[in-house]
């Protein structure tokens, strides 16, 4: 039986309690993303395993049918290794009729310019470059037999927000029906994340040709691909 893309419960809430949560579910096409063990294939037929998948989202917005809608200024780190299906609460979402979800993939100039930070933006999370000031927006690592590197290791560390090296992307997910929030209604929105899309279109990424992308060369290719990575959950 097909699952609803959101579930609404009638629960009592206070003004500071979360009306909406986002649940991120990670896949490689029709297979769940399982680190280190499952063998996948890209569109070039190259077999690979994923050992790490991490990325930042921020500026989360719910777009209203009318009025200002909702926006969160916070950045969140999604790390499949620590939680394969993380649930993020959106605090104090106002009652209203919402038509879409949007968020930034990456960390913009405002988030970058605050100096040493804590929480999701703490450099200890392994998403801050030591050789080049700034955050890694999207990190995908693993092994592929076709990668001509020691241990057949591949790594894609995507970041940068200036001029031609800008890898910030705004993700927009339209709702098929209006999400109405009010009274005692709460909602959980399931976000389907297909990691295979990061290697697919509009730029085919072959492990045999590009086993390592860690600076601005080709980084925007993967950033472009990531626009198709997010959709409503099944």
- Burial environment of residue 224 by CB neighbours within 10 A (0 to 12, 13 to 18, 19 or more): middle
Q: How confident is the model at residue 92 (pLDDT cuts 50, 70, 90)?
A: confident
**pLDDT on residue 56:** 97
Q: What is the per-residue pLDDT across 153-197, written as a single tens digit (0 to 9) for each?
A: 999 999 988 887 899 999 999 999 999 988 777 899 999 999 999
Q: What is the per-residue pLDDT across 65-77, written as a single tens digit (0 to 9) for each?
A: 988 899 998 999 9
Q: Where are the domains of the chain?
A: 18-232
CA dist 2 and 23 (Å) reads 17
Please, where are the H alpha helices in the chain?
109-112, 219-225
* Model confidence, pTM: 0.88
Q: How confident is the model at residue 115 (pLDDT cuts 50, 70, 90)?
A: low
Q: How confident is the model at residue 43 (pLDDT cuts 50, 70, 90)?
A: very high
CA dist 147 and 4 (Å) reads 40
């Amino acid at each position: 039986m097909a699952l609803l893309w959101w579930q609404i419960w009638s629960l009592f809430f206070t003004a500071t309690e979360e009306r909406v949560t986002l649940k991120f579910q990670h896949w490689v096409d029709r297979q769940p993303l399982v680190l280190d063990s499952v063998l996948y294939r890209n569109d070039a037929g190259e077999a690979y395993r994923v050992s790490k998948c991490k990325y930042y989202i921020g500026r989360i917005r719910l777009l209203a049918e009318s009025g200002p809608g909702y926006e969160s200024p916070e950045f969140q780190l999604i790390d499949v290794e620590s939680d394969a299906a993380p649930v993020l609460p959106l605090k104090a979402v106002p009652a209203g009729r919402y038509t879409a979800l949007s968020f930034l993939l990456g960390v913009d100039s405002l988030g970058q310019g605050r100096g040493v930070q804590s929480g999701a933006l703490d450099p200890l999370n392994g998403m801050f470059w030591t050789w080049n000031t700034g955050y890694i927006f999207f990190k995908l690592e693993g092994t592929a037999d076709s990668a001509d590197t020691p241990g057949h290791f591949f790594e894609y560390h995507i970041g940068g927000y200036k001029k031609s090296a800008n890898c910030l992307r705004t993700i927009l997910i339209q709702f098929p029906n209006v999400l109405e929030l009010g009274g005692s209604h709460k909602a959980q929105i399931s976000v389907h994340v297909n990691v295979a899309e990061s290697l697919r279109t509009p730029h085919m990424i072959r492990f045999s040709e590009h086993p390592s992308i860690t600076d601005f060369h080709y980084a925007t290719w993967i950033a472009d691909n990531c626009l198709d990575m997010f959709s409503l959950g099944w």
